[in-house]
Amino acid sequence: MQAEIISIGDEILIGQTINTNAAWMGEHLNTIGIRVHRTTAIADSKEEIVSMITEALSRSQLVLITGGLGPTKDDITKKTLAEYFDMPLESDEQTLERVASFFRQRGLPVLAVNEDQALMPKGCTILHNLRGTANGMWFEKDGKVVVSMPGVPYEMEWLMENEVFPRVMNFFKRPAIVHRTILTTGVGESFLADKISAWEDSLEEQHIKLAYLPSPGAVKLRMSAYGGGSEEELKAIIHQKENELLAIIGQHVFGFEKDTLASVVGDYLKKANATIAVAESCTGGMISHLITEIPGSSSYFLGGLITYNEKIKIAELGVSEDLIAKYTVYSEEVALAMASSSLKTFGADFTISTTGVAGPNDSDGVTVGTIWVAAASKEKAVCTKLRLGKSRERNIIMASNAALNLLRKEFLQINR
């Protein structure tokens, strides 16, 4: 079976909203064995919506639509769908009550535009949205399904998980698909491609597709087995191929699937019952954020000091003024001192630090993208000098990941 996604909204076409919904849906549909073969973004226009649904139904069994269900005047999806499926809008009591109590609980008046949100196409299956005021809708036609959901990610995700997936799993027979993602860091895409060329050639006869997914500082390798057979059979083949791959490039692999450098470091710290603190200059809080976006990180993350100002490096971290005078803040010596000093400041087992020029311009004669990352324990401290590019955003994320990776490699010695 084929599924496709239609994202409705001018804001997507003109780039004011990035289409994260399509990515979320594609990923989650895959885990239940449904492959999305096309994703289209179109304008809030009745003609576009009607022609797009017609087109999609001509080639796909499942069509998932997001957007255009809000209370405002640019939201025309519901009305268009009601016309398309020839189902007049009528007020749904349950929805009306839910919407009214939503506003009452917040001490807000119930407006006419909110009452209109209870109008639903007569005959569709209403997918009640317990995270917001705009319901989803499920339409069936000639053995095919069209689902419409609001574009707010938080609401769409709730509806997919609670209303759409269970219905989809009942409605469609699905072939098995198995994916496996192996995460590498510190080496480039073409280096990897060259190293694993023979292995990659061997995937074809097993009906496994391989994708290289580069991101700042990392390359993901994703195997996808579509070759028929049961899920268990596909998993066994993927498992064998993974072991072969690890034998070739294992030293560059830091994790699997949804792992991040911060989550891998966090897992190790939890197991070792150890703690971490950070001292960030040019990464400006990004390392702390990467660590703390992980639920449960409070069990090993003690805290961080962001020393954007030289005086703070001296006063709060205890980095020596003479050292800074001698080597400047942009130096290996200061990076190492920041890591070592913060061991004491926070009473942590491990620390990581950064200093350098994130950009977009050179600073004090130091070329933009020159960044030192360091890591320390009571026993030793290590430092690496990075030569990155001119993009501030990219430098911040690449230096943050390099610092986490330095700790992982030099201290945590995680052998995958």
Q: Cβ of residue 366: shortest distance to a copy of itself, in angstroms? A: 13
Q: Name the strands in the sheet holding 370-376, side by side, starting at the edge strand that comes first in the sequence.
A: 276-280, 350-356, 370-376, 381-387
Who's near 283: CB < 8 A, 6+ residues apart? Answer: 354, 358, 396, 399, 400, 403
> Closest CB to a copy of itself among 125 and 207?
207
* In contact, 160 and 28? CB cutoff 8 Å: yes
> Closest CB to a copy of itself among 97 and 122?
97
Q: Cβ of residue 415: shortest distance to a copy of itself, in angstroms? A: 26
3 state SS of 332:
helix
Q: Cβ of residue 113: shortest distance to a copy of itself, in angstroms? A: 6
> Closest CB to a copy of itself among 35 and 235?
35
**Burial bucket for residue 33 (CB in 10 Å: 0-12, 13-18, 19+):** middle
Q: Cβ of residue 144: shortest distance to a copy of itself, in angstroms? A: 19
Who's near 250: CB < 8 A, 6+ residues apart? Answer: 416
> Closest CB to a copy of itself among 87 and 187?
187
Paired residues of 385 in beta bridges: 372
Q: Cβ of residue 351: shortest distance to a copy of itself, in angstroms? A: 13
> Closest CB to a copy of itself among 123 and 360?
360
Q: Cβ of residue 92: shortest distance to a copy of itself, in angstroms? A: 18
**Burial bucket for residue 293 (CB in 10 Å: 0-12, 13-18, 19+):** exposed
Which one-letter amino acid corresponds to residue 146? Answer: V
Kind of pairing between the strands at 36-42 and 119-121: unpaired
The region, left, alpha or beta by phi > 0 then psi within -120 to 50, assigned to residue 361 is: beta
> Closest CB to a copy of itself among 88 and 91?
91
> Closest CB to a copy of itself among 142 and 154?
154
> Closest CB to a copy of itself among 107 and 143?
107
> Closest CB to a copy of itself among 9 and 136?
9
Q: Cβ of residue 86: shortest distance to a copy of itself, in angstroms? A: 26
> Closest CB to a copy of itself among 24 and 172?
24
Q: Cβ of residue 81: shortest distance to a copy of itself, in angstroms? A: 19
Instruction: Provide the Cα torsion 6, 7, 8, 13; round to 10°.
Output: -120
Q: Cβ of residue 372: shortest distance to a copy of itself, in angstroms? A: 17
* In contact, 192 and 212? CB cutoff 8 Å: yes
Who's near 293: CB < 8 A, 6+ residues apart? Answer: 262
- Cα end-to-end span (Å), the chain: 37
Taking alpha carbons only, the member of 124, 33, 40 closest to residue 82 is 124
* In contact, 112 and 96? CB cutoff 8 Å: no
Q: Cβ of residue 167: shortest distance to a copy of itself, in angstroms? A: 20
